[in-house]
Amino acid sequence: MSYQLHYWPSIQGRGEFVRLALEAAGAPYVDVARGDAASGQGLPALFHYLQDESVARPPFACPVLVDGKQVIGQTAAILLYLGPRLKLVGASEADRLWTHQIQLTIADAVDEAHNTHHPVGAGLYYEEQKMEAARAAKEFRTQRIPKFLGWLEAVLARNPKGDRHLVGARLSYADLSLFQLVAGLLYAFPKATKRALKKTPLVLALHERVAQQARVSAYLRSERRIAFNEDGIFRRYPELDA
């Protein structure tokens, strides 16, 4: 049976971390909100899970993954669930926990990237918080991008199974999420990110290797990959880069 992914249909957003896992594993899934409302898909199906009182375990926000009776919110929790099923995580509890810990740290970086254009709050438009955004972006560019990428570099360098993967010797969902984080940062902050990547060659190499994985590469060239845009988490506002 197909997995059902529910996410906003016009942005990559946090849903992209789930899409990449499903795509890289060649798993059958339906991107429900991008389907037709007349056939039971589209946004009404997504709002059902977020708003309908009949949902016993309601997600706070999307992405939402539905697998039979199981309804799961929170990107990292979805990947925790999918990891073993898609063979995108090691078999030991220690490996699974470490992969999850890396995912949570990447999620923190993603939150902070979002915060650069919405430091006051997600309920207001960027245009209503541009002054605050300029200061937040400077802090993020100069302090946080190097710190997060530097940490990922250390994780790769110290992996006893080699520096081609974050955990063990095989592709994990954390590798896919590293790819997406770097792709997003390169889109939103090209100058700052290229500067930081010069000091993190292992991160850059893994980013490029993931993009060349056969299924990921096919996905990135397909219409299923939504282009980065200024409604998503990673937004290119040139005034915020330097």
Residue 169 makes contact with a second copy by CB under 8 A: no
Residue 202 makes contact with a second copy by CB under 8 A: no
Q: Give me the count of residues in the chain.
A: 242
Residue 3 makes contact with a second copy by CB under 8 A: no
Residues 20-59 that bind a second copy (CB under 8 A): 53, 55-59
Residue 136 makes contact with a second copy by CB under 8 A: yes
Q: 169, exposed or middle or buried, with CB in 10 Å at 0-12, 13-18, 19+?
A: exposed
Question: Which among 1-9, 15-23, 150-158, 220-228 is the span making contact with a second copy, rule CB under 8 A?
Answer: 150-158
Given 38, 60, 125, 222, the residue binding a second copy (CB under 8 A):
60
Report the alpha-carbon distance of residue 5 to residue 16 in Å, rounded.
10
Q: Are 5 and 31 in contact (CB under 8 A)?
A: yes
Q: Are 4 and 27 in contact (CB under 8 A)?
A: no
Please give the sequence-ordered ranges of beta strands (E in DSSP) within the chain, or none if there are none: 3-6, 29-31, 64-67, 70-73
Whichever of 218 and 242 has its CB closer to a second copy, that residue is 242
Residue 77 makes contact with a second copy by CB under 8 A: yes
Report the alpha-carbon distance of residue 215 to residue 68 in Å, rounded.
25
Burial call 51-89: b when 16+ CB within 10 Å, e when fewer: eeeeeeeebeebbbbbbeeebbbbbbebbbbbbeebebb
Residue 140 makes contact with a second copy by CB under 8 A: yes
Site string for a second copy, 93-132 (x = CB under 8 A): -x--xx-xx--xx--x--x---x---xxx-xx----x--x
Residue 91 makes contact with a second copy by CB under 8 A: no
Minimum gap (Å) between residue 11 Cβ and a second copy: 18
Applying CB under 8 A, which residues contact a second copy? 53, 55-60, 70, 72-74, 76-77, 80-81, 94, 97-98, 100-101, 104-105, 108, 111, 115, 119-121, 123-124, 129, 132, 135-136, 139-140, 143-144, 148, 151, 154-155, 158-160
